[in-house]
Amino acid sequence: DGTVEVRDLVVRYGPATALDQVSLTVGPAEMVALIGPNGAGKSTVVNTLSGVLKPSAGTVAVRGRLAHVPEGRQVFGDLTVEDNLRLGGRRYKLRDTGPVHAILPRLAELRHRRAGTLSGGEQQMVAVGRALMSRPDVLAVDELSLGLAPLVVADLVRHLRELNETRGLAVLLIEQNARLALDLCSRAYVLEAGRIVAEGPSEELAADD
Ligand code: ADP
Ligand code: ADP
């Protein structure tokens, strides 16, 4: 089972402190939200988890394989859905798209379509499918809901929750949309200007605002 443990993380960009003593955990098979407005430091957290950025201080530990669904439904529009998926497994030489089709059956139906011709929700599903091709233990999902209809988001989340329940996938959902994130996750952290300003069970955080 995958887990994430961030302890007293500090990240500086030159003289600017982007993250100041941030601590958060995602336990095995947990689905946790990281909520914050633009500029709060959410991407910096993800980039530190994925190893793109080094902590200035503090520690970051990811147990298991981490995959990241980037913001903005990033697909290769001129490639088919199937080729988009295969790119996701390349780094680990995983070519079989069958397991991802089993999780997201719609992607099997769409496999010959060029990704650029799909709806926004379908493109986001391709982006999630591509991340799942590496068979991750931890999935960090950046702004899943951005620009998507609530029903489309609910459908995507249903699939994530299924994976979370059946295979112990740990999920960190990074969202500007606090309402949605609190609805979807049992536990949440609120990040503002590089600091965690609130954390706890979603129902408690929702009652606060
Ligand atoms: P979020 O993802 O929540 O919008 P970011 O992690 O992108 O926030 O940014 C956090 C802060 O760090 C912001 O003030 C942003 O301007 C700053 N920042 C992000 N990336 C860089 C960088 N490469 N160089 C300098 N400052 C940066
Ligand atoms: P949404 O309302 O979710 O944005 P769209 O209106 O973009 O969805 O698309 C509705 C349906 O039409 C989807 O199944 C999508 O795959 C299909 N579609 C959209 N654009 C094209 C296109 N250029 N060529 C083929 N099919 C398309």
Task: Report the distance separating Cα 128 and Cα 61, nearest Å.
Answer: 23
Tell me the residue length of the chain: 209
pLDDT digits (tens, 9 = 90+) for 140-179: 999 999 989 888 898 899 999 999 888 899 999 999 999 9
Atom of ligand 2 nearest to the CA of 121: 3
Q: 29, 63 in Cβ contact below 8 A?
A: no
Does residue 73 have a pLDDT over 80?
yes
Tell me the CA–centroid distance for residue 80 and ligand 2, in Å. Answer: 15
Alpha carbon 145 to its chain's center? 11
pTM listed for this prediction? 0.85
Alpha carbon 181 to its chain's center? 12
What pLDDT is attached to residue 51?
Answer: 93
Average pLDDT, the chain: 94
Task: Report the distance separating Cα 45 and Cα 31, nearest Å.
Answer: 16
What pLDDT is attached to residue 184?
Answer: 85
**120 CB within 6 A, ligand 2:** yes
ipTM of model = 0.66
Tokens of 29: 């098979």
